[in-house]
Chain A
Amino acid sequence: DAGVTQSPTHLIKTRGQHVTLRCSPISGHKSVSWYQQVLGQGPQFIFQYYEKEERGRGNFPDRFSARQFPNYSSELNVNALLLGDSALYLCASSFRYREMIETQYFGPGTRLLVL
């Protein structure tokens, strides 16, 4: 089975632009989470979606938004990009939504550079 896939792998944008990142979960997984990982730091939780509904949101500004589609794939959108948005954006899928027990399978990430 294919693992979690993300596209694009790398992206260069300029300040003020908008970006859309995409994620396809492992087949059968209905939950997708997004994380931002700045170089040298741990991943920071942005969103979790389950069954097309937002189930969790981290401490990120409204410029960040996401959605999940009927096939459980997901998009992360970031508007009005800032230099500080430069990071590795990770998508993780899990089989079911239970905060108590979830193993997350991470994709390779999208490296975003904002100039």
Chain B
Amino acid sequence: GQQVMQIPQYQHVQEGEDFTTYCNSSTTLSNIQWYKQRPGGHPVFLIQLVKSGEVKKQKRLTFQFGEAKKNSSLHITATQTTDVGTYFCWGTYKYIFGTGTRLKVLA
């Protein structure tokens, strides 16, 4: 079946360092969404990417959709302690969440 893998599984960074998580699908995705889940919380929508090669920015966050629409990335510049949480990608086809990347930011 379709799988959506994310790497790394865990990432510890010093505050101010950059962070990137990668999302890879075994099949082509029509579009992809990114969610953030704080510890003890629920997933919160961050952004949706639809077009091949699309790049979107939200302040310190940069999202990219691969040309083949099978992978995506989320890059955070100059991490802050408020960035702590697990970041999930979500392929709208079959409603599959990625495995998630848990980010810890050390002050």
The answer for the CA separation of A35 and B30 in the assembled complex, in Å, is 21
Q: Is B48 at the interface (CB under 8 A from chain A)?
A: yes
Q: Which of A42, A101, A102, A103 lies in contact with B97, CB distance below 8 A?
A: A42
Interface residue range, chain A: 20 to 34
Is B62 on the interface with A (CB-CB < 8 A)? no
Interface size, B (range): 20 to 34
Chain A facing B: main interface SS:
loop
Interface string of A25-41 (1 = CB under 8 A from B): 00000000101000001
Tell me whether B94 and A100 are in contact (CB under 8 A).
no
**Interface contact A58-B48, CB-CB below 8 Å:** no
Roughly how many angstroms separate A9 CA and B92 CA in the complex, as a whole number?
27
**Contact: A43 with B48, CB < 8 Å?**
no
The CA of A103 and the CA of B97, in the complex, are separated in Å by 13
Chain A hits for B30, CB < 8 A: 99-100
Select which of B92, B96, B100 is within 8 A of A102 by beta carbon. B92
Q: When each residue 77-107 of chain B gets 1 if its CB lies under 8 Å from chain A and 0 otherwise, what string results?
A: 0000000000010101111111110000000
The answer to whether A106 and B43 have CB atoms under 8 Å apart is: yes
Name the residue on B nearest A92 (C-beta): B43
Contact with B along A88-108 (1 / 0, CB 8 A): 001010000001111111111
* Complex-state Cα separation, A86 to B45, whole angstroms: 25
Shortest CB distance B103–A (Å) = 14
A-B contact number at CB 8 A: 53
CB neighbours of A48 from chain B (8 A): 95
In the complex, the answer to whether A106 meets B100 with C-beta atoms within 8 Å is no
A65 adjacent to chain B (CB < 8 Å): no
Question: Do A56 and B48 touch (CB < 8 A)?
Answer: no
What residues of chain A lie closer than 8 Å to B44, measured between beta carbons? 106
* A42 pairs with B100, CB closer than 8 A: yes
Which A residues form the contact surface with B (CB < 8 A)?
33, 35, 41-45, 48, 56, 58-59, 90, 92, 99-109
Q: Mind listing 27 A-B residue pairs with CB under 8 Å?
A: A41-B99, A41-B100, A42-B88, A42-B99, A43-B43, A43-B97, A44-B97, A45-B97, A48-B95, A56-B94, A58-B95, A59-B1, A90-B42, A90-B43, A99-B30, A99-B92, A100-B30, A100-B31, A100-B50, A100-B92, A101-B48, A101-B50, A102-B92, A103-B45, A104-B43, A106-B43, A108-B41
